Amino acid sequence: TPTPSPTAPPPTPTNTPTPTNTPTPTNTPLPPTATPTAGPTNTPTNTPLPPTATNTPPPTATATNTPIPTATNTPAPPTPTPTTPASGTIFFDDFETNQGWIVNPNGTDTATTGLWERANPEETNSSGIKQLGTTVSGSNDLVTGALAGSSVGSFDIDNGVTSIRSPNISLPTGLDLTLSFSYYLAHLNNSSTADFLRVTAVGSSSQVLFEELGANNDDDAVWDTTSVSLNAFAGQTIYLLIEAADASGGSLVEAGIDDVEITAGAAPACVTYTSSNIPLALPNGTSSISSQLTVGPSATITDLDVNV
């Protein structure tokens, strides 16, 4: 008999862990995850934030060149006080149009016929022309009764004075002022010095500028011209008063005026007169006198120096 081979002791059982019934993972599909539904994506919009208080500098008073309204030279309405104009004619009337002369302005006239009027005159004749039918210019003049009438004395001046005044005339200062006009005074030899033609300037005072008197001789009508200074009325508003009269009773008197003009020229220079060492006989002996006289533009003495 074969000798039995030694038998190896049986292996000690190891504590093999009992396999747990771990479920074999099955590919069980997971429940679908809640995939976010693509709703309106809150895409950030560039909503402007409320304006932040930025350090906006306060508006600076920038000096804009806003034009300041300038005083425009709006001409003021004419005032009675005259301004100095350039040299030339200040007033002229040839009586072709009505410039506003007023007959009997003071309501004191006494003449009953031969009143002043602006008209086209008719000629009258008695021992020569007594009323001219022609004028200096144009067809009209100022005349004492324009009509001839049925006889030479029908419309001449009778029984007193007739007067007429000019419109107001503003005279400047600083210029040489001259009045000129054409005129005539005609009469028969039954006239006298009570009859006259007279022109007066009336301003702050009055001054007779021209006067021609009648006489007991025959004087026919002929246009003549005269000029006179108005410098004494510089800076004033004046009017001219023209008067004619038959004041001697029953005389034939006619008068006419035409082309009245006031001009302004350059002011005349002062005139100085000097005298020296004029001998004088004085109670205490012989001496001498020296003088200097200065006359201004208005014919006024502006300076007088006398040395003895």
pLDDT digits (tens, 9 = 90+) for 220-258: 999 999 999 999 999 999 999 999 999 987 799 999 999
Both 128 and 247 in a single domain?
Answer: yes
pLDDT of 87? 73
Both 220 and 276 in a single domain?
Answer: no
pLDDT digits (tens, 9 = 90+) for 267-306: 766 666 666 666 666 666 656 666 666 665 555 565 666 6
The confidence band for 308, taking pLDDT boundaries of 50, 70 and 90, is: low
Handedness of CA 131, 132, 137, 138 (dihedral sign): positive
Number of domains the chain contains: 2
Tokens representing 41 are 């994506």
User: Is the pLDDT at 215 greater than 60, yes or no?
Assistant: yes
Both 169 and 277 in a single domain?
Answer: no
End-to-end, the C-alpha distance of the chain in Å comes to: 209
Whether 237 maps to a domain, the answer reads yes
User: Is the pLDDT at 56 greater than 60, yes or no?
Assistant: no
Whether 236 maps to a domain, the answer reads yes
Both 212 and 257 in a single domain?
Answer: yes
- Angular region, 104: left φ>0, alpha ψ -120 to 50, beta rest: left
pLDDT of 289? 64
- Domain span at residue 275 reads 271-307
Listed residues 266, 284, 299: the one ending a domain: 266
**Taking residues 108-134, what's their average pLDDT?**
97
pLDDT of 160? 96
Q: What is the CATH number of the domain that holds 199?
A: 2.60.120.200
Both 200 and 138 in a single domain?
Answer: yes
Whether 27 maps to a domain, the answer reads no
User: Is the pLDDT at 259 greater than 70, yes or no?
Assistant: yes
Both 106 and 249 in a single domain?
Answer: yes
**Hey, what amino acid is at 226?**
T
Both 127 and 159 in a single domain?
Answer: yes
Minimum mean pLDDT range among 40-54, 128-142, 203-217, 280-294? 40-54
Whether 71 maps to a domain, the answer reads no
Under a CB-based contact definition with an 8 Å cutoff, are residues 201 and 248 in contact?
A: no
Q: Closest Cα to residue 210, out of 219, 221, 201, 220? A: 201
Both 250 and 285 in a single domain?
Answer: no
- The rounded distance, in Å, linking the Cα atoms of 162 and 110 is 7
What backbone torsions phi and psi does residue 30 show, to the nearest 5 degrees? -60, 150
Minimum mean pLDDT range among 50-64, 197-211, 240-254? 50-64
Under a CB-based contact definition with an 8 Å cutoff, are residues 243 and 130 in contact?
A: no
Under a CB-based contact definition with an 8 Å cutoff, are residues 197 and 212 in contact?
A: yes
Minimum mean pLDDT range among 94-103, 176-185, 246-255? 246-255
Q: Three-state SS for 89?
A: strand
pLDDT of 183? 99
- The rounded distance, in Å, linking the Cα atoms of 63 and 202 is 59
Whether 21 maps to a domain, the answer reads no
Both 126 and 220 in a single domain?
Answer: yes
Q: Closest Cα to residue 163, out of 115, 98, 205? A: 115
Q: Closest Cα to residue 258, out of 79, 138, 109, 94? A: 94
- Stated pTM of the model: 0.62
Both 180 and 292 in a single domain?
Answer: no
> What helix, strand, coil percent values describe the chain, rounded to 5?
0, 40, 60
- The rounded distance, in Å, linking the Cα atoms of 146 and 250 is 19
Whether 300 maps to a domain, the answer reads yes
Both 257 and 279 in a single domain?
Answer: no
Beta bridge partners of residue 220, listed in sequence order: none
Whether 81 maps to a domain, the answer reads no
Whether 109 maps to a domain, the answer reads yes
Under a CB-based contact definition with an 8 Å cutoff, are residues 157 and 255 in contact?
A: yes
Listed residues 266, 283, 298: the one ending a domain: 266
In terms of pLDDT, which residue wins out, 114 or 59? 114
Both 184 and 258 in a single domain?
Answer: yes
pLDDT of 279? 66
Minimum mean pLDDT range among 23-37, 56-70, 241-255, 266-280? 23-37
**Taking residues 109-131, what's their average pLDDT?**
97
